[in-house]
Structure 1
Amino acid sequence: MNKKILVSIIGIIFVFSVLFFNSVNATFYPYVKDVGKAKLVRSVKDFKTAESEHFILKYTPQDEKYTSLVLDIAERHFKGVTEDLGYVPREKVLIVMYSDANKMNRDFSLAKGTNAMGLYLNGVISIQSPSLWIGNEDNLPEIFEKEGPIVHEFAHFIVDEVAKGNYPVWFTEGIALLEEYRENGVSWGEGLKGKPYSLEELNYKFNELDEVLAYKRSFEIVKAMSYKYGMESIREIIKYLGEGLSLEESFYKVTGDTLKSFVDSIK
């Protein structure tokens, strides 16, 4: 067989395999997520429960005094985040508040000593009790709203629901940080200097990069998307991701620009 033809056939097979994988991933991911959610729910079956219009909160008795605060803040930002990202959850969103950081780590298979203020996984938002990281009781509500994880993790929830797990980490982090900025005026990494990471580095080496600078770069890119193309573009990109397209394909379909050239233009 002609070598050039063979290479072309291999290339076509590769392209179709990638498209097929993305499509299958987006199709079956919700079922995989449901299994993971059920496991997590079982691990907190003895927690108490409080509810608001759009959220269910699981908590331990020692955190009962924080339940209204958590649910009020979640409801306060529900409309803004759902409108920005173009999706309203069909069911109430589950939030689990942990008074024991080690149990939270165990439930999410994190290394002992890991200090995550908030996490999103398998359709569940998990947060540390404010008592574990806020020392100033007088300003606790304000600190929890502006510096806490509710907006950030709720944004992750929506991206995951719509995109069906089909997205790079940096993109969902950038969106979550953009929502913190739009909802609470928090500008991640403001004033920090560093060489801007490339699209390739963000796509394939995100967890190896300097964490603060990687998050800052992700935020800058997604914020620039919202400024140049509007929030509608981000909503459309997330929707196409949920249909199985790659981020690069989704971005091009929405904007007519290549993602690499756009990222390279942001210094």
Structure 2
Amino acid sequence: MKSSTLLTAFTFAACEIAQVLAHGGVLSYNIGGQIYQGFRSYNTPVGQSSIQREWDSYDPIIDPMHPQISCNLNGANLGSGQLSATVAAGSKVLAWWNQWPHNLGPVMVYMANCNGACTTANTASLNWFKIEEAGLISGTVDKGTWAQGQLITNNNSWTTTIPASLAPGEYMLRHELLSIHTPNQPQFYPNCAQLKLTGGGSAQPSGSYLVKLPGAYKASDPGVTLDVYNHPTWTNYTIPGPAVWRG
């Protein structure tokens, strides 16, 4: 009986480890040459300090209308431990993921003006705009080169340039991977970090560039519902969400 209990515990632990290895998110950032530690999932937020909003597990969000799809579960600020990184418009931000296992799907990067202090912002109420996206780079949807494959090749990292003309202020920066390797079950992996943007720009996106999260995606969007194994010869993929705002 005792050995059976131990075996059950071991099996459960192994499943948990496998689950962590199979999924993930942004673990750290390089902003202006300074390294910022991300939130440490599976740990209490008490005592943590990070520019990142809280995210509680490596598991994906599979509902495009999930109320916490903006910054992952639970997306809360860290109270006294919540930091913001100061960055000049036009600068590069490098985000590092854990050892990423999925190579089918796009990479998307969003920002949102907090219109004040980001620490008190409700991320589901913000107006988000996309500053970068990459999807199917070449080849067919089932065996071609995807942005997530490039992320893996580049040491599980992605580098993004903040639009140089963007007006200064406090912003959320949101990285998102949408993995489509499982038919009819999209996997969204969003993470948010807080920025204090400096510079002499004055531009702000408007109109159709601005979306709510949830609200930017629907379950019926072709880029969300694509079954790559049922359409192995397709060479086109439509990335969901708004058009990229380039400033």
What TM-score results when the alignment is normalised by the length of structure 1?
A: 0.24
Q: Quick check: which one's helix share is greater?
A: 1
| Higher Rg of the two aligned structures | 1
What TM-score results when the alignment is normalised by the length of structure 2?
A: 0.26
